[in-house]
Amino acid sequence: MGADWTQEENEMRCPMQDYRTVSVSRPMRPFQRMWGVTVLFSALGLIGASPGVGASAQQIILQPDRATPGATVVVSGKGLGQFKSVQFNKVTFAGVPALIQRWESDLVEVKVPFKATTGPVEMMIGKKKLSAGTFTVVTPRIQSITPTEAERGTMVTITGEHFGATAGARDPNTMFGVNDVVIGGVVVRPRRWKDDQIEVEIPTNAAPGDVIVRLASSDPLPDGSCCAPVDYVTSNAVSLALVPSVRVDPMSGPVGTKVVLFGQGFGTKGTEDAVVIGTHLATIAQWKDDVIVAHVPLGADTGPLVLKRQGKERALGTFTVHVPKALPVTPASAPIGTLLRINGEHFGFYSESGSTPYSFMDFNKGENRVEIGGVPAVIYRWHDDRIDVWVPFSVKSGPVKIYRSATTPKADGSCCQDRGELVTEAGTFTLVTPVVESYAPKSAGLDDLVTIKGKGFGTFLKTAEHTGLELSQKAYKRRLDVEINEPDSGSTVISNVSRTEVLFNGAAALVQSWTDTEIVVKVPHRNLYGIGKRGAFFDDLSTGPLVVRRGSWDVLPDGTCCSQKQWLTIEAGSFTIEAKGLPDKGYWENNRPDASTSQ
């Protein structure tokens, strides 16, 4: 029976002993020789079987027994031997050669070939053939995609079956091809991939079209070596509608907030086209093909923000309508010109009542304002969580109120059926009038300190108007109408560049400290040196009034800023600047003593 086996097959069946070189110590009768051979062959499991039949009796396990082309299948068993070559070691699926990825004596890994069909799996080891059972080839199938209409950059979930498994870009077979998804002809790498569900992000360059799942092949060349050009098994196609991306900014705010929709294909506004926040129509300020500017209307509540266009509705997210809340103003009492702070939340932004996409383009504040005792305050800073205002010159004691303007649109969404304001109270403010109770000394030399005591002086303001844009532009152009001093000041020199100052006969002093009850200043030099202006010179201003003053403005009747600065002046009394602390006369004769040396 064994006479037809090759040497190679005999070595594989009994690798530890060469049956042709078995030696015996004594002669054997023919019956004994036949019995010995029979026992030997029986031990090897070879009696009564041809090579193919005997091999099929070996137990081989195929896992899994059904999969898609390109999937990895494991064939396990005993006595599979070592891998020698692609010609000697082969695995076929219904006669189609598979790419071998791993071969060990008890385990073999192969890729299901692209052209495989349902049928038997066989292993060839030289001339030996082993059967590994029947393998069922399945193909990917998409059952549904969610959503069926989406914008670029959003996630889409593909549900179905037989998608197989993939390691994505980390797959060791990336060089052959990677399982992927095609959307509108654009290849998309998945975010998550399971056998029955795939999640992908729609790329920005995708076009409307079909969604297809592709499984990459890993097939050998005709000679069994690696690798044939990649091919793909595709699923059924499911249509996906792509809508233009729309960016909404912001998605929260109080009434009156400017909401801008950036996108494409908005077209021209029709009578039924609208932006809806919750259940309220938003007021449309601008509608162009690539941008829509709307405002949160009066009475709006938190709810979905929906774009209605050409009879279709598109939800763009949830818009949260906030209600402004304010803490009591600080300080609660102060003189004019003081900077007040109102802390809180959801004040919105100051200049967002215009029709342009960006507030700085038109700086339209609408009717947004702060009133103190019914008098509009000068806005210095307006943030969503903080508002700073200057106390105006004409202020009165009373409640502090924040006014947030908003509108109610007409039936077609245009402006405006009605205009109104949302009012938020921020405590009560009490106006304080400064009082000078004493000052000392009544006369002093240059750079001596003078202390003024009293109450209601408020805080010292470090800001100055000489940095104002208008004044700087005039000075830069060297215009003749630039007045350093007040035009109607007469013979008194008054500089209009500060809002908290102490004047010695019209000349400002250097402030050393300033509290609500005490001010300390240095006696200025200019009064004794003389002060000049165009067409006049004052050479002796040593004696005159000592004045404490604060300045502020009022908002103009049309709501813009501001009137000319006005002053609240408190005279302490008369003060004389003594001729003390003046430079030595020798300084004027020889102000560079080092220049006269012989060195």
List the one residue out of 453, 570, 563, 557 whose CA is nearest residue 513: 453
Encoding tokens for residue 185?
């002809």
What's the predicted TM-score (pTM) here? 0.65
Secondary element (H or E) of residue 577? strand 566-577
CATH code of the domain made up of 254-432: 2.60.40.10
Fold of 141-243: Immunoglobulin-like (2.60.40)
Say whether 254-432 and 53-137 share the same fold: yes
pLDDT digits (tens, 9 = 90+) for 546-572: 999 999 999 999 988 888 889 999 999
Mean pLDDT of the chain: 82
pLDDT digits (tens, 9 = 90+) for 428-451: 999 999 999 999 999 999 999 999
User: How much is the average pLDDT of 65-74?
Assistant: 90
Buried b vs exposed e over 582-594: b needs ≥16 C-beta within 10 Å? eeeeeeeeeeeee
Domain map (residue ranges) of the chain: 2-47, 53-137, 141-243, 254-432, 435-577
What's the CA gap between 92 and 120, in Å, rounded?
Answer: 8
Which CATH class, in words, describes the domain spanning 53-137? Answer: mainly beta
pLDDT at position 168 is: 56
**Sign of the C-alpha dihedral, residues 287, 292, 295, 297?**
positive
pLDDT digits (tens, 9 = 90+) for 494-544: 445 678 999 998 888 999 999 999 999 999 988 887 777 667 777 778 899
Residues composing the chain:
599
> pLDDT grade, residue 583 (50/70/90)?
confident
Question: What is 122-166 written as a DSSP string?
Answer: EEEETTEEEEEEEEEE---EEEEEE-SEEETTSEEEEEEE-----
Given a contact cutoff of 8 angstroms between Cβ atoms, the answer to whether 233 and 68 are in contact is yes
The pairing of strands 435-440 and 378-382 is unpaired
Which CATH class, in words, describes the domain spanning 435-577? Answer: mainly beta
List the one residue out of 433, 435, 444, 434 whose CA is nearest residue 574: 444
Given a contact cutoff of 8 angstroms between Cβ atoms, the answer to whether 173 and 217 are in contact is no
The pairing of strands 252-253 and 312-321 is parallel
